[in-house]
Structure formats: C-alpha cells, structure tokens
Amino acid sequence: MKPKKINVKNSGVVKLQCYEDFPDGNLVIAEARKNIPFTIKRVYIINNLFNKKAVRGKHAHKKLEQIIFCINGSFVLRLDDGKHKQRIAMNDPSVGIRLGPMLWHTMLNFSSDCVILVFASDWYDEKDYIRAYDEFKRLTT
C-alpha cells in the first residue's frame, strides 16, 4: 500500500524515478538535491530484522532531515508530530518518506527479509536525538 496523503507535519512522500520495464530487473534512482531534497552526508542500512517483536526508532530529531525507504520486504512506519499520528505501510523501494525535524518515528512489524535504507542530511550526532517521548510532547505542544 502506498500512502496517499501524509497528514503529519515535517513529512511527505518522496517518489524516486523507477524503471520497471527491464526484462533483467528494476532500476530505482535517487539523486541528491534532486529527488532527495538535500545534500546526503550519511547513508545507513538496517537489516537482519528476524526478531518479529523488534521495534526501532522511538525518537525524533531536532534538526536532521532524513528520507527512509524499504528497499526489500516490508515494515510499518508510525509517525507522530505531537498532534497528528499516521501509520504507513512501507513496501516499495521507489517510495520514501521524509522524516523531518521534530517528528517522532517508530518502525515495527518487519518482514524477516526487510531491508531499510536511510539518507540523512548530516553525520551522526546523538545530541540531535530526542529519545524521551515526554520531552518530545513538551517541545511540540
């Protein structure tokens, strides 16, 4: 299922160019500052998601911009801007979701073959994370 409309703040759908008509497989293309709306400074992959009860994320970022993709398998992305919440089924490598600043995000319900790819606008900085939901709510309401 592709998200039709994103209802939370600081998010949105990023559709990548996709060639699906090759007899030898598909091609999906991401280009920084074109369909990825920032200069990519970091890329990370999350895989080995065999634990059916795994729950990742559960935090927001103060300034970081990210686009998250499910490049294999599926998972559920839960978004919360402090006021509105949305649940998105992720299962299409050509459809990314913007994880902008001050957006609480949680990933769960991973298929065992799930592979997540994230493009980030900056290097890793633990100080940019808000990992306490109480603090996130205080800052967004």
The answer to whether 59 is a known catalytic residue is yes
The DSSP line for 74-115 is -EEEEEE-SS-EEEEEE--TTEEEEE-TT-EEEEE---TT-E
> What is the C-alpha separation between 106 and 120, in angstroms, rounded?
16
CB of 1 to ligand T46, least distance (A): 20
Question: What track of x and - describes contact with ligand T46 for positions 21 through 40 (by CB under 6 A)?
Answer: --------------------
CB of 39 to ligand T46, least distance (A): 16
By CB under 6 A, residue 67 contacts ligand T46: no
> What is the C-alpha separation between 7 and 124, in angstroms, rounded?
28
- Residues of the chain by 3-state class (helix, strand, coil), percent to 5: 10, 40, 50
Q: Which of 2, 41, 44, 132 binds ligand T46 (CB under 6 A)?
A: 44
Interface segment toward ligand T46; rule CB under 6 A; list 5-13, 26-34, 41-49, 78-86: 41-49
Catalytically annotated residues? 59
